[in-house]
Amino acid sequence: MREVKVAKSAGFCFGVQRAVDMVYEEASKADNTDRKVYTLGPVIHNEQVVSDMESRGVYVVEDTDSIEDGPGTTVIIRSHGVPKDVINTLKEKNVNIADATCPFVSKIHHIAEEKYNEGYHIIVVGDAKHPEVEGICGWCKNSADVIGSMEEALNYNSHKDKKLCIVSQTTFNYKKFQDIVDIFLKKSYDILVMNTICNATEERQTEAGTIARQSDAMLVIGGKHSSNTQKLFEICKKVCTNTYFIQTLDDLDLEKLQSFRSVGITAGASAPNNIIKEVQSYVRYEQ
């Protein structure tokens, strides 16, 4: 039997679990009625979970134009959050809003809006194309600059005349965030730094790196479009060459693991517990 170690922090975080529960609750309320339930974008980056939600009558849409107006419609804001103008548009459409924005993300919205109104220029450290970052920018009238790498930080020379408020995407790599902040400090900017990486993300990343260093091979489970899972993969790959990214057991090539006596497993915030347990059981007993 192969030694398998699973990260205690693997799987749904508080914010994702809360959003998923909210979707199923709203779907159950709408069951056998004419009510419509929508999510603005997939509620999590997991195809299996989203497919199950769709089978229960939950519609995934990408913009507010696709949403039917009126009180017979419920719109669920996913954990990534949305720009302020989207909330205002939904209120104008007179729909029921179920806000599943992660509290850690909501905190960044408040910071971005408040500091922008106080005259700060907002810097968001993260992936410019990620829905969470797009949402954050929408709370400071889309005036923020998004920095995703040390190279971008080194090349940044704008807004020398303004105070900067630096926030981070909740799932960004903590060490990379620190390195980027250090670059801004060396440029002599007047900066206010708000470490808005959520505690669960920091814990997950630290634990993943520790297990990867102790294992012959490492499996990282999560949706292929999940930012936090991609960060876990990068962290593990740096310290364990034999690191593999999978979404489900079907993606696992067991032949690659044949020669390894110890395998570590972690998972992103979008990975359901049943998939983690299935992979764990299979890896442990299949030789």
Catalytic positions, written as ranges: 132
CA distances from 195 to 15, 25, 177, 181 (A): 18, 33, 8, 10
- For 83, residues 6+ apart whose C-beta sits below 8 A from its C-beta are 134, 135, 137, 138, 139, 142
Q: 179: number of CA atoms within 13 Å, CB side?
A: 14
DSSP assignment of 138-169, as one string? GGGTT--EEE-SHHHHHH----TTS-EEEEE-
Helix (H, G, I), strand (E, B) or coil at 92: helix
Instruction: Tell me the residue length of the chain.
Output: 287
**Rounded CA separation 210/202 (Å):** 12
Query: Which three-class secondary structure state does DSSP give residue 186?
Result: helix
Contact between residue 278 and residue 22 where contact means Cβ atoms under 8 Å apart: no
Q: Give the whole-angstrom CA distance, residue 160 versus residue 198.
A: 29
At 230 the three-state DSSP class reads helix
* Alpha carbon distance 3, 87 (integer Å): 49
Instruction: Indicate the burial class of 237 (C-beta count within 10 angstroms; 0-12, 13-18, 19 or more).
Output: middle
